[in-house]
Amino acid sequence: TRGGTRGGVQGRGAREGEPPVCAWRVSVDGVGRERKQYLIGDMFTVLNTDRDVLSHRNAFCTLGWTFEDIYPGDEWNFVFGQARLIEQIGVFSFARFDPRFYESISDEKSIIPALVRRSIKTMAHEICHMFGIRHCIHFNCLMNGSNHLEESDTRAGDLCPVCLTKLQSTLGFDPIERYKALLTALQTITSQLPDTPTSHTHTQHT
């Protein structure tokens, strides 16, 4: 995922840290298993206050990620991710992008392409939020909002001309060089994925 976002947002690196301690509640996944679901607001607090995180915060924005399910408040079932534009911090979860969240799958290799594709799109989406880009209503675009997995899966993997112009005006990159970097990053990622024709698409309404 870091390779995919580095190709799309040039010149910005990534660091990995330890998971924070957050409030949580019990949720049930698509096959009836109980699992912890963590409060995203506590993750934002860690990103803004934790000394270890702040000691490495030499970037324009900071993104946290987790393999656990997340939610922003009691009135919400879940979110795939969320960002705070002013504070330039964001969090996203791999949990609901894993086909095993919705059904029992014995062949773990078959889930990797879908998990990687969905995660890169959401990570890039949240990072673009942190660069000041809001949800897009103009075209099928990476910055379209999504309320369930089907919407997320049908969302484009890159920015539309309107949102690309916004990002370019913020970062000042050469669009052609950006697309070259994206191509290289995606070719590298694709070469590392298992060769499987299996496709997992599920709808999870909120």
Active site (catalytic) residues: 126
Q: Let me know how many helices (H) and strands (E) the chain has, helices first.
A: 7, 6
Residue with tokens 């900071």: 62
User: For 126, which DSSP code?
Assistant: H
In terms of C-beta density within 10 A (0-12 exposed, 13-18 middle, 19 or more buried), how is residue 24 classed?
middle
Partners of residue 37 on adjacent β-strands: 25, 69
Distance between CA 206 and CA 27 in Å, rounded? 13
End-to-end CA gap in the chain: 26
- Cβ-proximal residues to 183 (8 Å cutoff; 6+ apart), any chain: 7
